[in-house]
Chain A
Amino acid sequence: MNDQKIRVLVAKPGLDGHDRGAKTVASVLRDHGMEVIYTGLHQTPEMIAEAAQQEDVDVVGLSILSGAHMSLFPRVRDELVKRGLGDVLLIGGGIIPGDDVTKLESQGFAKLFGPGTNTEEIAKYVIAEMARRRAATGGRR
């Protein structure tokens, strides 16, 4: 077991202004004892990867409700990889049709959460997945 606090970046890529979900999830993760940094709105993929690096986070959670996920999500992943952050736990949520979920989950996204997801489920997932990863890597993520 590693009881080091989990550090999470919750980010809003693109021009989408819908931040109710992102902020609610950020608050819930914080209530579960995680260190949560929320980027605010209108972030480019570069800005998000930059913040993830500076804040040395374990988890990056993206939220998008504008339909631009198939363009923006992979670009965020590429920017993370470019900075040597390919091993962060990358998750997302929003209005994402089932086919796109399948595609993104085969492109480096660990899990995507759709509308109506219980936020406790997201918190539990992050805690369990981080515990598994830390056990596998001996504490490093």
Chain B
Amino acid sequence: MSATRVTTPVQSVDAQAEWELAYRSSKLRDCEFTTLSGTPLKPLYGPDDAPIDPARDLGLPGAFPYTRGVHPTMYRGRLWTMRQFAGFGSAKQTNERFKFLLEHGQTGLSTAFDFPTLMGYDSDHEYARGEVGQVGVAISSLEDMQTLFDGIPLGEVSTSMTINGPAPILLAFYIACGERQGVSPKDLRGTVQNDILKEYQAQHAWLVPVEPALRMITDVMGHCAKHVPQWNTISISGYHIREAGSTAAQELAFTLANGMEYVRRGQAAGLDVDQFGPRLSFFFDSHLDFFEEVAKFRAARRIWARKMRDVFGAKDPRSWMLRFHTQTAGVSLTAQQPENNIVRTAFEALAAVLGGTQSLHTNSMDETLALPTEKAVKIALRTQQVIAEEIEVAHVADPLAGSYFVEAQTNRLEQEAETYFKEIEKRGGVVAATEAGWIQREIHRSAVQYQRALEQGTKRVVGVNCYQEDEGKGPQIEILRIDPNVEREQHARLTALKKRRDAAKAKKALDDVRDACSGKDNLLERFIAAAHADCTLGEIADVLRERFGKYKEPRIL
């Protein structure tokens, strides 16, 4: 190994010994000096802690292994996309929130769906009672999708949709919605999350068992490579893994392991890695540990570039680049003294920017209480704008490179991820490890450890286990409530739609979906036809559940 040190001046042995003596004889604060994930930290990092070969391990911005960022200009060329996740109530209400955000300078849309939609049930299904429009917008049909994007030209915005189990169906609604607006699928830009592995592992909104779900993902990759070339077909997500309680290293490792599985599946389905590789994107959490998070983003880019080039044989540099969206950590927000959440979110957002994110969602201060109000969401967006416009951090690419500490953390996270990759391999790969519940138990173990640290006071949270205030029965901030009429109105719309549509055409489209389930035809194409025939989400999903069965959760506890 030709590893050299980041910089050359090294303290004399005497000076080092003198500092160590001074350090050891000093009184220290009574706390555990660890990362948020529990990794012990040294009091000082020097060149010996960060052995790197700059050419091999860092490269330059826009060049392999992309540790320093995916664009040669980074934010001098273009700022990150400010993309606030939004969705609640009816399609019409969310359409208004979208327009509000665009008017206030947001540059991309991001759709949150309600639980029935996420699980592939129409708003009038028995399981949907009480849940319609609660955590996101209810979308049961192409008609709902058209209402959601009414007056928003789909050829001009980029849209992200957080949906997984039924992702190919919602993507079909979106493509059909574009076609109804006169926009060619070739001109659609955006992302569908479509990352089913982390659903089984962490977020838990699934539709069918693992194998058919993975087949639908390769169908999406195959169809989009040909017909929707600007679409990110999957957003491989660590966010939910982290929010479920994992450490930073676990988030990194499990996410990239999932990503590698999708690549394997794509290749096994006969697709060329350079055909779908450039459309894979990622989604990470930005948590409170500032330096660990920056290091995580840098390590993620480096690992992915190496795997794509050296393991999967990708030749197109765009396949090597790990592009990612970031959301600040929802779990770091507190219901106590909620205004403090603005500050937490700002630090987390700054870590994402210094880590080179391509797009960013900043959480609103009231999200531990309910969905965000307009005021709260505007402050969250303004937080990004302050980072972009006022604090002069967007002028220099990868500004923390060469910091002994940050490079040491980047190396450590890469090594910890590699150790996990080996462990997963030993367990038969990521699908087997997930079906056995091993990954879920690893995440749970970390969640319990963190909770213990909080309750023992070794990790402190302002307003929760220190600097508490008596807040009476609840916080004194405004809360967004979902109108119960949304559910009733959705029922009426669905009934009217089913009455109005061409019943024979809808039935034929569903039969075509059923046939494609047992054959090899691309399911996404059938979903698009079903969308145009006004088949509902629940109807299409029911066919999939009927043909593929339901997923059964392994026992974790």
A97 nearest CB neighbor, chain B only: B479
Which residues of chain B have C-beta atoms less than 8 A from A120's C-beta?
Answer: 455
B147 contacts partner chain A, Cβ-Cβ < 8 Å: no
Which residues of chain B have C-beta atoms less than 8 A from A114's C-beta?
Answer: 335
B464 contacts partner chain A, Cβ-Cβ < 8 Å: yes
Which residues of chain A have C-beta atoms less than 8 A from B370's C-beta?
Answer: 67, 95, 97
Is A14 in contact with B131, judged by CB distance below 8 angstroms?
yes
Instruction: Given A20-B447, A23-B444, verify A41-B115 contact (CB < 8 Å).
Output: no
Is B129 in contact with A71, judged by CB distance below 8 angstroms?
yes
Is B368 in contact with A115, judged by CB distance below 8 angstroms?
yes
A131 contacts partner chain B, Cβ-Cβ < 8 Å: no
Which residues of chain A have C-beta atoms less than 8 A from B128's C-beta?
Answer: 15
B127 contacts partner chain A, Cβ-Cβ < 8 Å: yes
Q: Give the contacting residue for B557; candidates A38, A66, A101; CB below 8 A.
A: A38
- B189-227 near A? 1/0 per residue, CB < 8 Å: 000000000010001110000000000000000000000
B243 contacts partner chain A, Cβ-Cβ < 8 Å: yes
Q: Give the contacting residue for A98; candidates B129, B474, B553; CB below 8 A.
A: B474
From residue B177, how far is it (CB to closest CB) to chain A in Å? 24
Is A66 in contact with B203, judged by CB distance below 8 angstroms?
no
Is A17 in contact with B369, judged by CB distance below 8 angstroms?
no
Is B473 in contact with A98, judged by CB distance below 8 angstroms?
yes
Q: Give the contacting residue for B334; candidates A15, A71, A99, A115; CB below 8 A.
A: A115
How far apart are the CA atoms of A43 and B129 in the complex, in Å?
13
B245 contacts partner chain A, Cβ-Cβ < 8 Å: yes
Is B368 in contact with A19, judged by CB distance below 8 angstroms?
no
How far apart are the CA atoms of A14 and B479 in the complex, in Å?
22
Is A67 in contact with B371, judged by CB distance below 8 angstroms?
yes
Is A68 in contact with B130, judged by CB distance below 8 angstroms?
yes
Given contacts A14-B127, A15-B127, A67-B131, 11 further A-B contacts (CB under 8 A): A15-B119, A16-B131, A17-B199, A18-B204, A20-B331, A40-B553, A66-B115, A95-B368, A99-B474, A115-B335, A116-B368
From residue B129, how far is it (CB to closest CB) to chain A in Å? 6
Interface residues of B in 116-166 (CB under 8 A from A): 116, 118-119, 121, 127-131, 134-135
Which residues of chain B have C-beta atoms less than 8 A from A101's C-beta?
Answer: 473-474
Instruction: Given A40-B553, A97-B369, verify A17-B205 contact (CB < 8 Å).
Output: yes
A118 contacts partner chain B, Cβ-Cβ < 8 Å: yes
**A-B contact list, 22 entries, CB within 8 Å:** A15-B115, A15-B116, A15-B118, A15-B127, A16-B115, A17-B203, A19-B204, A20-B244, A20-B447, A27-B448, A28-B451, A66-B115, A68-B131, A68-B134, A70-B130, A71-B131, A97-B370, A115-B334, A115-B335, A116-B461, A116-B464, A120-B455
Number of A-B residue pairs, CB cutoff 8 Å, is 104
Is A23 in contact with B115, judged by CB distance below 8 angstroms?
no
Give the residue among A17, A98, A99 with the most B Cβ atoms within 10 A. Answer: A17
Is A14 in contact with B115, judged by CB distance below 8 angstroms?
yes
Give the residue among B331, B371, B448, B553 with the most A Cβ atoms within 10 A. Answer: B448
How far apart are the CA atoms of A21 and B121 in the complex, in Å?
25
B503 contacts partner chain A, Cβ-Cβ < 8 Å: no
From residue A35, how far is it (CB to closest CB) to chain B in Å? 12
From residue B139, how far is it (CB to closest CB) to chain A in Å? 15
Which residues of chain A have C-beta atoms less than 8 A from B369's C-beta?
Answer: 95, 97
How far apart are the CA atoms of A102 and B464 in the complex, in Å?
22
B327 contacts partner chain A, Cβ-Cβ < 8 Å: no
A13 nearest CB neighbor, chain B only: B130
Which residues of chain A have C-beta atoms less than 8 A from B482's C-beta?
Answer: 67
B17 contacts partner chain A, Cβ-Cβ < 8 Å: no
B3 contacts partner chain A, Cβ-Cβ < 8 Å: no
B555 contacts partner chain A, Cβ-Cβ < 8 Å: yes
B235 contacts partner chain A, Cβ-Cβ < 8 Å: no
From residue A39, how far is it (CB to closest CB) to chain B in Å? 10
Is A20 in contact with B473, judged by CB distance below 8 angstroms?
no
B233 contacts partner chain A, Cβ-Cβ < 8 Å: no
B451 nearest CB neighbor, chain A only: A24
A99 nearest CB neighbor, chain B only: B474
